[in-house]
Each structure stands twice: as C-alpha cells, then as structure tokens.
Chains A and B, each alone.
Chain A
Amino acid sequence: MNITLEIWRQKNARSKGKFVTYKLDGVSEEMSFLEMLDYFNKTIVEKGGEPVAFEYDCREGICGCCGLHINGYAHGGAHETTTCELRMTKFKDGDKITIEPWRSRAFPVIKDLIVDRSAFDKILRAGGFITANAGAAPDANAIPIRKVDADEAFDSAVCVGCGACVAACKNSSAMLFVSAKISQFAFLPQGRVEAVQRVQKMVARMDELGFGNCTNTGACEARCPKGIKLTNIARMNREFIGAKLGSQIVRH
C-alpha cells in the first residue's frame, strides 16, 4: 500500500522542530509499524537523506523504549499495545499517518521522535527501592506473603516505564508511573518498612521535575500498554496522606 507520513523532525534539543510530510510507497501490511519506519528510513538513507531517529530495542513490547504518538494517540491507541506491537494491518492504502514524539515538558526532545525520559529514573532514585544489601536477606520463604498481595504487587510491577501515561495526560502527570512503583512495594512486607519515607520522597521528586497533577481523566490508564490500573493512584494518595499525617493507614 501507499501511505503519507507526517513526521516531527527536530535536529536536536536546541533547535526548533516542525512536521515534514513524506510519501511512502510499497508498504506491506505484513510489516509492524516500526518495520514500516525501518523501511522508510532505508529509502531515505539510500537517497542520501537523514533518517528519522526513533527509539526501540526489544521489539516485543517489554523493554519500554519505543513510544510514539500516532495519529494523536500514545502507542497508536490500540488496547494494551506498545508501538512496536502495532501492525500495519491497522492501516489501509492511502492513509495519512501523523507521528510525533511524546509531548511533555518533563520529557524534552533529544532528536526527531526521541525524548529524554531520565526524569523517570530520577523519581525512582528518590526512593523506588528497598534498602536490602546483598547478603543480608533471610531465606526467601521466611516471610510469607498472601497470594492476593503478591499478585497485586506483580500487576503494579509490570510497568515498562515507556511514558505513555505522561504523554496521554493533558497535565503531563506521572502519577500512574509513580503510584505503580509505590503500590508494588506497599503490598509487600519487605517494602512496608520504608513506605512512609518512600512515598514522600518520590512524590516530592516528581513535583520538582515538572510533572503535572492528576485530574482523574483516566487517559493514562486507557493508554497504558501494560494495563496499570488507576487504583494505583488512589493507593498512592492514601499512602501519601497517611505518611503526612504521621501514621500508616491500615491497608485492608
């Protein structure tokens, strides 16, 4: 099929970007979306042009590298799908596809479609860990954890850190990302010990880095490729208030 691509081109962080329109012929519906971009880049390079920079690595939806705004939707808008899992069968001959990088002040553009998501790492460094030195741990079965709690912790822990939640949010809020990590540890006895400090430090860091607040539109949950639930945000708020009030609220 033949398609038209409207792509955000930006030389580097210092320069101004703009949309550039390209015609692309010979696209096969057997391609993944990113294979279509690979093919597009090959045609550009062979003509002596500069290819579009975009981020990827595993190409199977687990590393969290890829993340494009496609026709106005983070990851293209398909249910629980990362950009690399998107297939060209979703498009048809003659389509125009608009591709942008994540839009958020906290994620500045590095080049073309690549943004700097190091703010996520910075939030995790503020407290997204358990202080357990290697060698100090007791036997893995010494502390039983209810299956429901372990499962809930897992469901929050599957976040891939792609940033779609921030990109989809009109406030550029990182609450879904931050709350997923806080929830994971809140459900585990190993994580409870530092829960009061953790939530306060991570939320403070999140605010410093320029992410917006949550106004409960639910766009983050709708666009999350891993199905992270909005209830994580409620849990984080509860943890946060509890921490600020100086007492830990009983969880169940």
Chain B
Amino acid sequence: MIKLDAKIPEGPLAEKWSRHKRSVKLVNPANKAKLDIILVGTGLTGSAAASSLGELGYNVKAFCFQDSPRRAHSVAAQGGINAAKNYRNDGDSVYRLFYDIIKGGDFRAREANVYRAAEVSNQTIDQLVANGVPFAREYSGYLDNRSFGGVQVSRTFYAKGQTGQQCLLGAYSGLNRQITAGKVTMYPRRDMLDIVIIDGKARGIITRNLVTGEIERHSGHAVVLATGGYGTIYYLSTLALGSNVSAAWAAHKKGALFANPSFIQIHPTSLPQLNDYQCKLTLMSESLRNDGRIWVPKIKGDKRQPNDIPEEDRDYYLERRYPAFGNLVPRDVASRAAKERCDAGFGVGKTGLSVYLDFKDAIKKQGKKAIENKYGNLFEMYHKISGDNPYEVPMRIYPAGHYTMGGLWVDYNLMTTVEGLYAIGEANFSDHGANRLGAGSLMQCSGEGYFILPITIGDYLAGQIKTPRISTDHPEFEVAEKAARDKIKKLMAVNGKQTPTTFHRRLGKIMWDYCGMVRNEEGLKKAAVLVKELEEEFWKDVKVVDTELELNQELEKAGRVADFFGIAKLMIQDALSRKESCGAHFREESQTPDGEAKRIDSEYAYVAAWEYAGDDKPQILHREDLKFENVELKERSYK
C-alpha cells in the first residue's frame, strides 16, 4: 500500500527550505566520487542538474534523444524567466512571487514547494548571468525587467524573444564543462525504454541507441528524470515533435505515481491549424495581447474580408465579457472564450477555427514603427508562415496545447514514490497547480536543476555509500531488457498499413475534442471508448519499418505513440474524477451562472496521484490533501 508523504519540513513557510538544507544528510567528497547518478533528459533542468551534480563530484551519466543537449525544447521558451529580485523597487518579494504562482495555479499546488521555487529564483538569475547568459540590459548596464503574464510587478528577465534558448545554452555550457572535466558522460541519441528497479530502489535504465539500434544497460545509485512534458498528446501542439511521455510513463508503470495528469495548459495565441498536413502549431508570444484586440464577426459565417467588416459588425468578445481585464485575461480564460465563439459558429478562416488578433487600432495610435519595435520578429514569423502581413490584415490565432502542469508525483525532495527515482522540471507536477503563469517554467526548471535537486539527492545518496557500483548483470536488468526488446518485436510484428503518425494524429484529435479546453462527463466517457478502440486498432494495423539495428525513426515514433495511449487513458480518468473546474481543467458541469469556472475547494483541494494497476485496469487514486496555512483560497475573477 502506497502512503503519500510529501515530507514537507516543519517550521514557518519562509524558513522551511533553509531549515531543510541544514538538516539533509551530506555525502563527503571522497564518497561522492563513488556514486553514480543517471540523468535522463538534458534540457534546461537536466543540463543544470548535470552541471551542478558534476561540480559536486558525483559521476553523472546523462542521456538525451537529440543529437545534442542544446536542441531540447527548453530552447523554444520565448518570453522570459521570473525572479523576485525587486530590482524595480515596485514592491516585489519572494512572498509576492509565491502568492502569484499559487493563485495563478488556482490553488492546486503545494505551498512549501512553490515558496521554495520563488526563493531560489534569485540565485538562479545570478547563476545564469555568471554563466554568460546575455539578458537584456538598460543603458546603465543593469538588468532590464518587464511585466509578463498579467502580474502587477516587473519581475521577468528576458533575452529578446529567445530567453529559453539563452538559458538552455548557459546550462549546456556548464554541462559541457563537466563533460570535459570527466564528471559527466554524455549519451546523446538515446531513448530511455525502461527503468530498472532492484529491491525497491531505482538502479538503472534500459536505453536504445538510436543510431545503431542496440539495446543498452546503464546502472547508477539513483535515477533522475528530466524528460519534460507531454503536450504532444494532442499531436498538434506548440511542442517539439520529439517531446514525449515515454520515460515518465515507464517510471509510472514501475510504481511512480502520476499526479494531476489532465492539467494541461492550452495557450491562447498560437497559429491556427491551416490544413491536415500540419505537424505543429507555432506559438505567438502572449505579449501580443498587450496591443492586439481579439474579435470575431457578429454575423455567423460572415465571409467578408476582415478589413471590410465595419466596427458595428465586430464582436470584441473578451472586452465584452471581461471589461476589467479585456484582452489581458489569463491564458485559460482567453483560450476558452475563443473556443466558445468558434464552436458557436463565429470563427474565421477556411476552417472556422480561428479568431482575429487585430493591431489596426494600436498602429493608428502608436504608429507602425512603435509596433514594429515591440513585435517585429513575431510579425515577420507570422508573415513567413501564413503569407499574410499582420501590419495590414489581422492575425488569425487559435489556442494550442502547450505545457503540462501534471507529471510524476514528487515529495519535497523531488523524489517520486519509487525510492531513488527523482523527477525534475516539467516532468514533475510540483509547482504550477492547475495553471502555469508566464515565465514560470524557466524559473522552476533552472532552480530545481541548479540548486534544489543537487542538495536533496544527497539526503538519499548518503545512505548509499556502502552500496558498491551496481552491476548490469543483475537479473532485474535481464528482465527489463527483455521487456524492452519484446515491445520492439511486438511493434514490428504487427506489420499493418497505417503509420505511427497517423495514429498519433487520430489520438490527438480525440483528446483535443473531449479532453482539451472544455471537458464534460459525457464527452470524457466517449473519449475513453474511442481511445481504447484506437489503441486496439493500433496494435492490429500499425506499420513499423523493420530495421531494428539501425536508425529507425518510425520505430521511435511507434514506441512513443504506444505510450501516449496509456497517458491518454489516465488523463481521461483524472479529468472524469475531478468534477470541478480549476485552472486549465474546465468541467462544463461546474460553472457559474455566467459561464465562468467554478472551483470546489471543499471537495477537490487535493493532488490526484494515480497508481498504475495494469494496462487495461482503471488506475488507483491516492489523494494528497493540500493544506493552505499561509494563503486564503480566493475565487479568480477577471470581470
């Protein structure tokens, strides 16, 4: 029987982390050199962790599926990274940052974790600057900040629209230094296929070398997953095409509980789907809503060109519904409102699945030059992809799957329910509750990688110093390797007619329609049936090209899609069980008379952590009740 213990330290909120740091066990330097850590995923959080752990003297084996850690999808974060530096003297503080994240997450995150994330944010900025990250500066030479994501202070550090790229490259340079120093061994082009557990402890992984096709065994005293999110469940999303759930799913099947799987953020400003060949939805920065006005025609199916539609025939629906915040309502609210209009038949474009984001008034008021200075690169990107010039005609946008707040359940030490198995960054569930605020992801990822995991993992490893290097000849490695090989053989043996991508696209459509922006019991139950049917069809009709011992992209995709079926079923189960609306999770049955989300704190102020019970069995729910000792639960209103 699994008993959830978040291991939150005693003491006042602001002192928990420093008290905890004082009390965790330490590993002496000579012993660190005898301990091996496996780290899967080398995006921002993984690279940061690898460099910090290497600096401390552990032996790190780091794995990624890309050809280089620099390619990880952290690279695509645009807007910025938050820190509570209060360089603007605008009243910001660690507490305010903490409060904004808790509230933005609709009170479904753990107070202690969030406070710690806010606390280490300041150190993180120091570290990134020391690593040579060229953040934007003022003429004084000091760092510039901007306001982001609907908060009232300017706490976002940024490097033009490429903050994620620059942060990742900074962490990657630190990782490179440890590779040169011999403390980190890098294994690129590897897919993690399974976790090896010996006597209840995570002791290794099974990987596939994506170039040679060889199945490999790697052992360590602890395993860290930094494998990102699974927004690609919708097929069309803002994520990189390679982003996947497989490593986290393998951990889940081996006993790591999966928390809040249905909490996926839908970003409101992405390019719409234009055709059936499209492979992804490119994100347009949220900052565009500072000056752009969102509207649809008042007349259903109005076929006129946008510039021919007069003011009186336009419905600026966000300004109409939310006069106080207008076009600047949070992501979840803006996304649902766009869907509502399109579903009601007012959407624009060939598919009717997009809304206008219009800069006409901003250009008239501020001049074209001013708009170009603010959004030039975004306008150019939009022009390149859509062929439309946004200086002359309104942009067309639509919401897209983006970030997964859900992930592997972890305690305060970032350890999953499997001893010695950790999850950091987007792969865990810890900090963002039911909705993530802008510029919060880079903050969490770098903080956990540089400063939190390297300390908390010592507490566990201190007890492992008498364990000699784990042999990969152990029978548990045999079993795991055989299971991995069997799965590959099974995929190839189907020899059907449809490509893995075809199935992924179809699965994505089901999830988008029934477990996307708006959910209801009937739809979710229908989706459960459809996903099950599609999964059965997959195992009867998928076509995987039979070149096992070589680079085989179709096999990689097939393995990932097979795991997406698992998480899809769990998402649906989770969404069904949470009969309230909160953050990104909107249950139609739970709304206020005027159509806004209705949270039910008396029944659902918990983390839903799911235990795997077998492929075709419903999973078992474990509740971690959330205790709010420092903040008062309030309704979010943007009217």
Contacts and interface: CB of A to CB of B under 8 A. Distances in A.
Interface of A: 11-12, 28, 30-32, 34-35, 38-39, 41-42, 45-46, 50-51, 53, 55-65, 81, 85, 87, 89, 110-111, 114, 116-118, 120-121, 124-126, 128-141, 144-147, 150-151, 153-154, 157-158, 160-161, 184-185, 187-188, 190-191
Nearest to B384: A85
Nearest to A112: B551
Contact of A118 (B129, B188, B554): B188
Given A38-B501, A138-B126, 12 more contacts: A46-B499, A65-B66, A110-B551, A116-B67, A129-B173, A132-B130, A137-B127, A141-B85, A144-B141, A154-B159, A157-B134, A161-B68
A125 B173 CA distance: 8
A30 B385 CA distance: 9
A134 B551 contact: no
B279 A130 contact: no
Interface string B350-361: 000000000000
Contacts of B48: 134
Contact of A45 (B136, B279, B554): B554
Contacts of A55: 67
Given A130-B131, A147-B138, A65 B67 contact: yes
Nearest to A89: B387
Q: Which 7 A-B pairs have the closest CB atoms?
A: A144-B141, A137-B130, A129-B173, A132-B130, A137-B126, A154-B134, A153-B134
B174 interface: yes
Nearest to B498: A46
Interface in B116-150: 123, 125-132, 134-143
Nearest to A39: B277
B160 A154 contact: yes
Contacts of A31: 275, 277
B341 interface: no
A122 B173 CA distance: 11
Contacts of A145: 137, 141
Interface in B64-106: 66-68, 70-73, 75-76, 85, 87
Interface string B50-70: 011001000000000011101
24 contacts: A28-B275, A28-B277, A30-B275, A31-B277, A35-B278, A38-B279, A62-B75, A62-B165, A81-B384, A85-B385, A114-B551, A125-B180, A128-B173, A129-B174, A129-B177, A134-B52, A134-B454, A140-B135, A141-B87, A144-B137, A145-B137, A147-B137, A147-B141, A160-B75
Nearest to B502: A42
A136 B51 CA distance: 13
Interface residues of B, number: 79
B213 to A, nearest CB: 10
Which of A11, A62, A85, A153 gathers most chain B CB within 10 Å? Answer: A62
A45 B497 CA distance: 8
A111 B173 contact: no
B637 to A, nearest CB: 35
A91 to B, nearest CB: 14
Contacts of A64: 70-71
Which of B174, B188, B241, B242 gathers most chain A CB within 10 Å? Answer: B241
A102 B141 CA distance: 41
Contact of A50 (B131, B498, B545): B545
B66 A57 contact: yes
A59 B454 contact: no
B240 interface: yes
B429 interface: no
Given A120-B68, A158-B165, A51 B554 contact: yes
Given A51-B554, A60-B280, A134-B127, A125 B134 contact: no
Interface of B: 48, 51-52, 55, 66-68, 70-73, 75-76, 85, 87, 123, 125-132, 134-143, 159-160, 162, 165-166, 169, 173-174, 176-177, 179-180, 186, 188, 211, 240-242, 274-275, 277-280, 282-283, 381, 384-385, 387, 450-451, 454, 497-499, 501-502, 543, 545, 547, 550-551, 553-554
Contacts of A32: 279, 385
Contact of A134 (B55, B132, B283, B384): B55
Contact of B279 (A35, A46, A62): A35
A117 B240 contact: no
B79 to A, nearest CB: 14
A213 to B, nearest CB: 24
Contact of B143 (A57, A60, A140): A140
Contacts of B166: 154, 157
A144 B67 CA distance: 36
A135 to B, nearest CB: 8
A42 to B, nearest CB: 6
Given A57-B240, A62-B165, A134-B454, A38 B277 contact: yes
B398 to A, nearest CB: 16
Nearest to B128: A140
Which of A34, A56, A136, A140 gathers most chain B CB within 10 Å? Answer: A140
B543 A45 contact: yes
A192 to B, nearest CB: 11
Contacts of A50: 545, 547
A63 to B, nearest CB: 4
B215 to A, nearest CB: 18
Contacts of A191: 132
Which of A45, A58, A64, A161 gathers most chain B CB within 10 Å? Answer: A58
A62 B168 CA distance: 12
A238 B70 CA distance: 28
A45 B503 CA distance: 14
A141 B138 CA distance: 11
B68 A51 contact: no
Contact of A157 (B51, B52, B169): B169
Contact of B70 (A110, A137, A150, A161): A161
Which of A11, A30, A42, A114 gathers most chain B CB within 10 Å? Answer: A30
Contacts of B52: 134
A134 B125 contact: no
B405 to A, nearest CB: 21
A59 B240 contact: yes
Contact of B73 (A11, A57, A133, A157): A57
